[in-house]
Structure 1
């Protein structure tokens, strides 16, 4: 017992005074953050198990707790109670069922609004900004709710009636009003357990959708925006121009990709493309987690000149073959470019 008191003394006083339901909101928020950002844990179903209430329930519950710190309203049934109400001493809170229903509703309203605000910021709608914004809102509302409760008299503060719920539950099963009530209580518990098991199974063993990989090219505008437009098509031998390769992993698993960049002189005849000459410009390998997108900036430096050359970006899962081609690539994208000789070479040719 002494050890328990010593441990409690290590916790700041305002945290020891935190109501049980608000402490649960705080703990669940922190656990969700850990489950989402910790390597090895974020790939497990725990991310979804904690993520769903984090998005669908906790923000709304914290907001409701801040708006209604009072205990459930008491009905006026006597002159004394009426006098107390006239004196401003009656409670104005809402009951537990209303809190739960409003928590879901407000969460569904608040989280999209947070996403809308983030959409107009440089951060955008991405995992980290959403996690930080929703966590910040939930923790801020939790702190405000705790402050408002502490300002009330202890008897007027809302508290979750755990003991009353446990006592009522025990009485319903040990001393039901009739056999039918007892059977219905057992059926209700079995239904809840079955529903919980179904949700757990759906989270732990999600259905596999279509597996595919996105492979595309981007360019960077002067303002830093990435667009699928304005690709460079005029090159000079030995001079570099930047291009950004995008890889989106929707394979339902982590994948190590290999990218081979080739400049090819091709001839198209009778709907058949023949490669007459080719040179490899770059090769790289990167690992992309499931559901993530990777952007890689490349500096394309042609080593041979010609008109209407094919600049091919060949993507493979794992190690590419000894002879990478458009036909054996897992994904392929290309640009048609013109590559001119350096000015010094052109001048020497003209003089001769």
Structure 2
């Protein structure tokens, strides 16, 4: 028995009967699942290298295979014969449609997930696309099996390999040989460039998000309805948050202070300050931190400035709004009687 025949017997029967292109689609799907979820692989460039072809090509190819199980006319068929051909599409049309259909199908899957309890997240997206691809592959295999063997679409792998081997290793002229070498070098350079771009991606803009939230009537955190009326010694709840987009681990310091200030001629002069709280979170890149806390001022007065100062690392000996990395504030009244609320004027995050 030939080695190739012995190798094929090791493959399950259902896999031997599956068309080669559909088996490759299933294999790429399984490879994508491994690259996305395996702990020692998901942080490597393989996740992008495998994931992009899966998203941009595989769902569309599976759908096109299910819709068009017939073989198409040969590439060199003239126009009259092409018009009389029954069903099927050419290989080039099949590939082009696969990209176009994938670009249309994947957003539709995301749109449907948006209206489900799972939402548009990694696990639901991967599970949905995997289920869609496997279902379409089963339909495509079933429809091909119902056709006569001479009408079924099949990828001419062996013909392509024989032709490529002949072109590369048995060129007709020296010019063809030189062009073949140039083609191989160009492909290697292109693959190397893409691999380097994936393995060493350029960092985007670095910044830190800094924001204040309150708890709404339904329990959700919202950037609205901030308390501005306080009574001495009586606290009110706020939530301060940080989002690290600095592409590195950062040790932050958050100072919560209340200031008595004097505003004249578009300038602000600090008269008195009171430190209320300090937080020292340490965040990895793309990590978010939110801290509920109670603001309990003892300084009294009107138009006091409740100020949040964010620093990378330890704060200076004299923290100010000018030397802070980020700053948020709202104007409050601390009197014996309180109750009204108004909106905060947060300072928008700036890039570093």
Residue 147 in 1 paired to residue 142 in 2?
A: yes
Shift of 1:257: 4.4
Aligned partner of 1:48 in structure 2 is: 48
Aligned partner of 2:175 in structure 1 is: 180
Equivalences for residues 65-214 of structure 1 within 5 A = 65-73=65-73, 92-121=87-116, 123-214=118-209
User: Structure 2 regions of 5+ residues with no counterpart?
Assistant: 339-352
- Distance in 1 (alpha carbons) for counterparts of 2:144 and 2:313: 58
CA RMSD of superposed structures (Å): 3.7
Shift of 1:24: 2.7
Shift of 1:284: 4.4
* Partner secondary structure for residue 281 of structure 2: strand
- Distance in 2 (alpha carbons) for counterparts of 1:341 and 1:192: 76
* Partner secondary structure for residue 21 of structure 2: helix
Aligned partner of 1:348 in structure 2 is: none
Whether the 8 Å CA contact 1:74–1:91 is kept in 2: the answer is: no
Deviation digits for residues 139-187 of structure 1, max 9, x if unmatched?
3323333333344455544333222211111111233344433333333
Aligned partner of 2:293 in structure 1 is: 299
Shift of 1:302: 1.5
Aligned partner of 2:239 in structure 1 is: 243
TM-score (norm 2): 0.74
Residue 309 in 1 paired to residue 304 in 2?
A: yes
TM-score (norm 1): 0.74
- Distance in 2 (alpha carbons) for counterparts of 1:269 and 1:221: 32
Aligned partner of 1:57 in structure 2 is: 57
Equivalences for residues 203-282 of structure 1 within 5 A = 203-222=198-217, 227-236=222-231, 237-243=233-239, 245=241, 247-251=242-246, 253-269=247-263, 271-274=267-270, 276-282=272-278
| Runs ≥4 residues deviating over 6 A | 4-7
Cα distance change of structure 1 residues 134 and 249 upon mapping to structure 2, 3 Å threshold: farther
